[in-house]
Chains A and B, each alone.
Chain A
C-alpha cells in the first residue's frame, strides 16, 4: 500500500510511532519512509511534541526532603570534581594513589573522592545502586547513623560498606566484594584529611571477618571527605606513621539526613 497518498493514514502512523505502539518491522518501515518524506517526518515530530506533554499532566506529589539532600551531595561533588579537573596540571610520573604526598594534598584527594561520589551517585552498576538504596533506606530507619561510604575498587565495584554511628562511636565495615587479603596482610582504613597540609589518619585495621567494628571518636569523622583502604603488613602500620601499601578501595563519606 502506498501510504504517501493517504494523509490520514500517514498521520495515524506518525501518532503510533510517537506513542511508541508502532513496533518491529512496521516501525522500521516507518523510519525508512520518514527519512525520504518530509511530511511524514514533520507529522512524527508534531506528535512527539504533543505527546511529550502527557508527562506534564500527571498528579503531583511532594517527594521526601531526603531526595534534595541526595541531589545536593551529588551536585557538590560534581562541582568540586569539575573545579579540580580545570585546575589540574598534567599528572607527573608519580602514581596518583600510590603516592602518599597526594594524601597530604587534601584538595586533590577530595577531587578523587568526589569522582567516586559521582560514580556512586550515578549508580553505574546495578548492584552498587541496590546497595546504595538499601543503605539509604537503612539510614532513614536508623537515625543514629550519620555517615556512610561505599568503598569501591578502581573498577567502581563496591567492596566495603561503611557506616558510622556517632552515638556508639562505632564505625562498621562490611565486606561486600570477593576481595580477600593474603594471610600475612591486613586492610587498614584511613580518613582522608579535610584540608590541604594534613595527613591521612588511620582509623583502624580490619580482621579477617566479613564485618569489623572500629571505635573512633566522632571528631575523627567530622569534615572527612573520603575514606580509603590500603593493604598493609599484618596488624597495620605502627601508630602515627603513614600508609605503606597500595590503595585498594576508596569512597566519599556522605553525610546523611538527620
Chain B
C-alpha cells in the first residue's frame, strides 16, 4: 500500500517507549518532543511553580529513560503512564520541599485558590491524549467547573478532604459533597464508555 494510515498517538508512543527501553537515545528525544509540553503542564499543576516543574520534568524523563521497560507490564495508555511518572516525581518533590520549608503550604494555598477562583470554562487540553482520556474529558466536562477542579486537584496533588478544604478555604462538608457528587456523576458517565 502506498499510503500508510497515520499511526494513532498511542501506538506511536508505545513504539517509542519500546525503543527507549532498548536505550535508544534518539527515541527518547522524539518522545520528549511529542510529550514534553503536555507533561510539563502536568508538572506545573502538581507543583504549582514553573521552575520546580522543570526539575520535576527532568527527573521524570530520566526516570522514564531508566524504567521504560516496565511500561509493557502496565495496561495504561502510554501518555497516562508517563503522566503518572511525572505526578509521582512531582509529589516526591513537594514532600522533599515540605520537609525543608514550612511555608510551602501557604504558597500552595494561594496558587490553588487562584486556580479554582478563575472560572475558565474548560481548561482541559486533549491534544495527544489517549481515548481513555477523551472519555474522561467528556465526563468531567459535564461537571461544574469547581467540582471538576476539586476532583482533579485531589487526584493530582494527592490531597485529603481536610487538606482540600483548608487550601481552598471551603467548608469541609462542601468539599466532601463536591467530591462525592463529582465521582457519582463520573461513574454514571464513564460506564457508558466502558
Select the stretch in A120-128, A169-177, A220-228, A247-255 that faces chain B.
A120-128
What's the least CB distance linking A15 to chain B, in Å? 4
Does A53 lie within 8 Å of B132, measured CB to CB?
A: yes
- A56 and B38 in contact, given A12-B184, A19-B151 (Cβ under 8 angstroms): yes
Which residues of chain B have C-beta atoms less than 8 A from A78's C-beta?
Answer: 62, 65-66
Does B132 lie within 8 Å of A20, measured CB to CB?
A: no
CB closest residue in chain A, given B53: A63
Does B38 lie within 8 Å of A15, measured CB to CB?
A: no
Contact with B along A122-160 (1 / 0, CB 8 A): 110010011001000100000000000000000000000
A219 close to chain B: CB less than 8 A: no
Partner of B155, one of A19, A59, A62: A19
Does B132 lie within 8 Å of A74, measured CB to CB?
A: no
Does A52 lie within 8 Å of B96, measured CB to CB?
A: no
- A133 and B80 in contact, given A60-B127, A71-B32 (Cβ under 8 angstroms): no
Which residues of chain A have C-beta atoms less than 8 A from B156's C-beta?
Answer: 54-55, 58
Does A74 lie within 8 Å of B137, measured CB to CB?
A: no
Partner of A19, one of B50, B53, B65, B154: B154
A21 close to chain B: CB less than 8 A: yes
The CA-CA distance from A239 to B38 in the complex, in Å, is 54
Does A64 lie within 8 Å of B54, measured CB to CB?
A: yes
Partner of A58, one of B55, B57, B124, B158: B124
A41 close to chain B: CB less than 8 A: no
Which residues of chain B have C-beta atoms less than 8 A from A50's C-beta?
Answer: 132, 136, 186, 190
Instruction: Report B23-57 residues with CB < 8 Å from chain A CB.
Output: 23, 25, 28-29, 32, 36-38, 40-42, 44-45, 50-51, 53-55, 57
Does B180 lie within 8 Å of A12, measured CB to CB?
A: yes
Does B37 lie within 8 Å of A63, measured CB to CB?
A: yes
Does B32 lie within 8 Å of A68, measured CB to CB?
A: yes
A sample of 13 more A-B contacts (CB under 8 A), given A20-B158, A130-B100, is A20-B154, A50-B136, A50-B186, A50-B190, A53-B129, A55-B155, A58-B124, A58-B152, A60-B37, A61-B50, A67-B36, A74-B62, A82-B23
Does A122 lie within 8 Å of B62, measured CB to CB?
A: yes
What's the least CB distance linking B194 to chain A, in Å? 8
Does B125 lie within 8 Å of A58, measured CB to CB?
A: yes
Centre residue among A12, A61, A122 by max chain B CB count within 10 A: A61
B133 close to chain A: CB less than 8 A: yes
Q: What residues make up the interface of B, taking CB atoms closer than 8 Å to A?
A: 23, 25, 28-29, 32, 36-38, 40-42, 44-45, 50-51, 53-55, 57-59, 61-62, 65-66, 75-77, 79-81, 83-84, 86-87, 96, 99-100, 123-130, 132-133, 135-137, 140, 151-152, 154-156, 158-161, 179-180, 183-184, 186-187, 190, 194
A16 close to chain B: CB less than 8 A: yes
Partner of B76, one of A52, A54, A59, A76: A52
The CA-CA distance from A133 to B56 in the complex, in Å, is 11
The CA-CA distance from A21 to B172 in the complex, in Å, is 12
CB closest residue in chain A, given B97: A126
**Interface SS of B by simple majority:** helix
What's the least CB distance linking B77 to chain A, in Å? 8
A198 close to chain B: CB less than 8 A: no
Instruction: Report A21-55 residues with CB < 8 Å from chain B CB.
Output: 21, 23, 46, 49-55
CB closest residue in chain B, given A123: B59
The CA-CA distance from A63 to B130 in the complex, in Å, is 21
Does A59 lie within 8 Å of B25, measured CB to CB?
A: no
Does B25 lie within 8 Å of A79, measured CB to CB?
A: yes
A57 close to chain B: CB less than 8 A: yes
Which residues of chain B have C-beta atoms less than 8 A from A54's C-beta?
Answer: 136, 140, 151-152, 155-156
Does B123 lie within 8 Å of A59, measured CB to CB?
A: yes
Q: Give me 27 A-to-B residue pairs in the complex whose CB atoms sit less than 8 angstroms apart, sorted by A's number.
A: A15-B183, A16-B179, A19-B179, A21-B179, A52-B81, A54-B151, A55-B83, A55-B156, A56-B77, A58-B45, A58-B123, A59-B45, A61-B40, A61-B41, A61-B50, A67-B54, A67-B58, A70-B58, A71-B58, A74-B65, A75-B65, A78-B65, A79-B25, A122-B59, A123-B55, A123-B59, A129-B55
